Structure 1
Amino acid sequence: MDSTDGIALDTWRASAREFYFRGKRIRYWTAGEGDPLLLIHGFPTASWDWHKVWQPLAARYRLIACDMLGFGYSAKPRGHAYSLIEQADLQHALLGELGIDSAIHVLAHDYGDSVAQELLARHCEGRITLASCVFLNGGLFPETHHPVRVQKLLLGPFGFLLGRLFSRRSLGKTFGRVFGAQTQPSESELDDYWRLITESNGPAVMHRLIRYMPERVAQRERWVTAMQRCSVPLRVIDGAADPISGAHMVARYRELIPAPDTVLLDQIGHYPQVEAPEQVLEHYFDFRTRLESVGGAVEPTGL
């Protein structure tokens, strides 16, 4: 079996651990030894998004990942005011739960990119120490984020109704648009994503989770400034065919970020760690190898 064939969802769930964050149950996963690597998932899925790269990464690093509040197998409280800032607090709390106080490497995707940006800003403030940060497809800049129709509707005044009407068929249509043409999810994968989303009646809180989009606008200056000024080594590994945050987002990144280190994956969509796990691993390992060889700085690439 190829190491990037992944981990079955039921196997993944069975290996979960849990702790309580502000009274809410959070499910998390750990594996491997070595430098700590924090994996931060996207919307509307969960940490199982990393299942195809989990074992190869665990062979080199100490992995930590949780289902954030409102996602996957963690608590999904109704009426909660979800925020990216709180999700960053959750990541802090998880690291504390595990007794990790050393410098952290971060690998993030989508919604998780925004949480990672907040952690980067906190690094600049001396509240946490990041050793590196790699972003997969995500809305690093509100002006380049092109949300799909479902996201726009969820943000509207009748978003709570849309959440109730959101279906397995809706998910398949949405994912079909954001995955690459040649790397579409299988029906069984879509079934598993649907199980994650509907766990504990997840669609009922989607209209609250989607408030991350205006929160990104409110935090833009803080987060972009952190990327521009902090000394933390950064890389973007991006599926170029993603209509939400593909090649157009990387073009903006190259305009705004000094000495940009970016990798574009041709014909890959919004979920590169699922669609092209071997390529993501190749470019992530290259980043870490070059980081180690030069003692904390990476010469930029523009692939």
Structure 2
Amino acid sequence: MPNTSISVIMCTYNRKEFLPRAIESILSQTFNLFELILVNNGSTDGSDVICQKYAKADSRIKLITIKNNQGAPKGRNAGLKAASCKYLTMVDDDDQCEPQMLEFLLKLMNEYQADISLCGSWNDIDGKKEPYFIYDDLLILDKVQGLEELLKRERFNVAPPTKLFCKSLFDGISFKENVLVDDIHIIYKIFAKADRVVGQGKPLYRFTKHHGNNSRFIQTNNLSPELLKEYLSAFRERAEYLSAEVPEIALRARYSEWSYMVSMCDKIKKYSCTSCADLYDHMVKSIRSNYQEWINSPFITDKEISIVHGILS
């Protein structure tokens, strides 16, 4: 394996319960030519002391301290600025990496001369493991195929963990700050710059799902109007950006935006989410005004057609 190093970026804010486990899962990697950029994002629960302890004990750790919490995107951007290696990955402070994750991702990257490599994962929900993008196939994808898989969300999604990136993909691109969920605003732009994506769904990462996860609303029926509004805005921007930058993916990008609306309308209606009533009306109006293009989409499913007819009737 080439003597190539990896920047691992981990931002933390008030996660002392999970943080040591997350750090140890990086320090115990079978591939050890890495730097761990640990960003303490204004923690007040003692996580700062944990960061200092590990940074003092291991020279591979670069500790960045942000005095007051300004959100995860601010921390990730600080980590990107400090990263000095050819490749980088981002992991969360409440998750775990299997010992061979970095070695596996780097091997895929080098063997197939890829810009992004990725693996599978588990969701750990209250101690119970559930498969999350686990499959046996080897995916070797060009730019359009990589974006299509990203939008389909059947083999992987936008979450930075489980992915190894060429650092150069982030040139001129940073995480959008002052938002609730940062990855939905940026990762599609990174994939739009990648000429080759390679992946295999071996589960080498474990997402810990708990009430402190912003993304937990995706797996529950408790819709947040603020988060839903942000997702809708981000997916609108995504469709416009990809249609301009990679025209071959335009149809899929527009379909994905409307498909998300349909699924959210269905959830709001099914679970009587009255707090999202205004957003429901907005999405129904958008679906109705784009009905002909939507209904003629080559990607639409029978289930979605049934849901749309129920919404518009």
Same fold (TM over 0.5): no
Q: Highest relative contact order (Cα 8 Å, sep 6+), 1 or 2?
A: 1
Compute the TM-score of the two structures, normalised by the length of structure 2.
Answer: 0.28
Q: Which has the larger radius of gyration?
A: 2
| Between structures 1 and 2, the one with greater strand share | 2
Provide the TM-score with structure 1 as the length reference: 0.28
